Amino acid sequence: FWELQKVMWTTNAGLVESHAWDSRPPSWPVLRRGINFWGKDHRQIYLIGNPLIWWSSTAAIAVYVAVKGLAVLRWQRGYKDYSVTTFKRFDYEIGSSVLGWAFHYFPFFLMQRQLFLHHYFPALYFAIITLCQVYDFVTARFGGIGLKERPVIGQAGTVVFLAASAVVFTIYAPLAYGNAWTQDECKMVKLFDTWDWDCNNFHTSYAQYSPIEGAPQTTIGSDAASSPAAVPGPANPQADNPKDDVFVTPQPAAQAPIVGTEEKIEYRDESGNLLNDEQVKELEGRVSFKTRYETRTRLVDQMGNEIHDGIWEPDTEGVAGTIAEGENPPTGGVPETRAKEVPASVAVGDDVEKEKSVERSDAGSARPESSAGEATKKA
């Protein structure tokens, strides 16, 4: 944090060149000078605050400082002003706002860089808050002056002040928005020579201001009626037989959304019969299982149709998941009904003998490589 503050301070302190529209801190609270931003076509944009609000907020700061100084002198002479709750709150509440104003204003006196009126804006916010607080204490909290007992006076004063602020803003609005203005109106509200916008830049009357270039103009009357009627152009050529010339761009086939994938491992005995989960669990620890077949993954949609390369095709089987392909060696060439008639053998010796016979029959012949390798799964 402190390093950033140091860098900002050093960078700003290096901007020491003079500027045509710079100003120093003592001139800010009294709005002695503004900033010229733009001037063209007898119009000008010049930064100047609302004098009524600006000077009223500065006066509120001065009122608090004067009251605070007087209270300190009275306190040294033994007066009990701070024993009054209302005065104590006046000193604490308004003092906090004035302290914020001071922290945002006085550090600029230490800077030798270029400074402008807009640097006073943060302090101005606290000055306006101070103005509102002082007005509230005077009209609604302090007794003895008669305003607290007559709140309608304070309310009427608030309405009058806000209305006057709006009127003053309207008077100086041409400088804020670059609107048309006359020299006489400009000179009438230019209260100080230090407000250095040039009233001679404006026209002497509003009639001399031309309409904005590029604005649309409407022609009414005989000129519009005398304009030649639109002549229809040549008709578009038509083909002898439009139906023969119609070419329809083929659209890609609709693709069904893929709702999910499923993988499934099937367990079979030496006769090729499927084993359910209960049978597999019963055989755990008694027999060994070996991967003998390739597996493939089938993608199906919610209707059970198989999907190939993102395009679905009807599948009458409707089986989803991983299935075993290839011929079961022990039952090769045997009809399914006959194979199912052979009871499954679960004896360990028979299983080992069957495995050896399969290995001897497959020796020297090419076998498909399993996706899981020749890994052995033991329960």
Return d(Cα 127, Cα 121) in angstroms, integer.
Answer: 10
Domain boundary among 163, 183, 207: 207
* Angle in degrees, CA 35, 39, 44, rounded to 5: 70
Which residue's entry shows tokens 């309310």? Answer: 155
Report the pLDDT value the prediction gives residue 111, as an integer from 0 to 100.
81
pLDDT at 309: 53
Number of domains in the chain: 2
- Report, in angstroms and rounded to the nearest whole number, the Rg of the chain calculated over CA atoms: 48
Buried b (16+ CB within 10 A) or exposed e, 42-70: bbbbbbbbbbebbebbbebbeebeebeee
143, amino acid identity? G
User: Which residues, given as ranges, of the chain have pLDDT below 50?
Assistant: 213-231, 233-240, 242-247, 310, 312-346, 348, 364-379
Per-residue pLDDT at 243 = 47
Q: Please state the pTM of the whole predicted model.
A: 0.54
pLDDT reported for residue 376: 42
Residue 312 lies in a domain: yes
Note whether 17 and 147 are same-domain residues: yes
Model confidence pLDDT, tens digit, residues 247-275: 455 555 555 555 555 566 777 777 667 77
The C-alpha atoms of residue 129 and residue 126 are separated, in whole angstroms, by: 5
Position 304 scores a pLDDT of: 67
Output the six-digit token pair for 38.
Answer: 């733009």
Four-point Cα dihedral 291, 292, 296, 302, nearest 10: -70
* CA separation for the pair 163, 212 (Å, rounded): 32
Cα 126 to Cα 3: distance, rounded to the nearest angstrom: 27
One domain for residues 135 and 279: no
What integer pLDDT is reported at residue 283 of this predicted model? 80
What's residue 259's pLDDT? Answer: 55
- Residue 185 sits in the same domain as residue 58: yes
pLDDT at 367: 46
244 found inside a domain: no
Do 201 and 333 belong together in one domain? Answer: no
Res 334: pLDDT: 47
Residue of 340, 208, 207 lying closest to 271 (CA atoms)? 340
Q: 63-82: per-residue pLDDT in tens?
A: 999 999 999 999 999 999 99
Domain-ending residue, one of 207, 223, 240: 207
Clarify whether residues 19 and 164 are in a common domain.
Answer: yes
What does the alpha-carbon distance between residue 280 and residue 187 come to, in Å, rounded to a whole number? Answer: 105
- Does residue 239 form part of some domain? no
Q: Is residue 271 part of a domain?
A: yes
Residue 371 covered by a domain: yes
Do 194 and 320 have their domain in common?
A: no
Of the candidates 191, 155, 175, 151, the one whose C-alpha atom is nearest the C-alpha of residue 51 is: 191
- Of 187, 207, 227, the domain-final residue: 207
pLDDT at 216: 41
Token duo for residue 164: 């006057």
- β-pairing, 35-40 with 43-47? antiparallel
Amino acid, single-letter form, for residue 359: E
Range of the domain at 356: 267-377
What's phi and psi for 208, nearest 5 deg?
Answer: -80, -10
Q: For residue 251, what pLDDT is reported?
A: 53
| Residue 199 lies inside a defined structural domain of this protein | yes
Look at residue 215 and tell me if it is in a domain: no
Q: Are residues 197 and 280 in the same domain?
A: no
Question: Same domain for 275 and 157?
Answer: no
- Does 75 lie in the same domain as 192? yes
Position 116 scores a pLDDT of 92
pLDDT for the residue numbered 354? 58
In order of 21, 30, 333, the CA distances from 170 in angstroms are 24, 20, 104
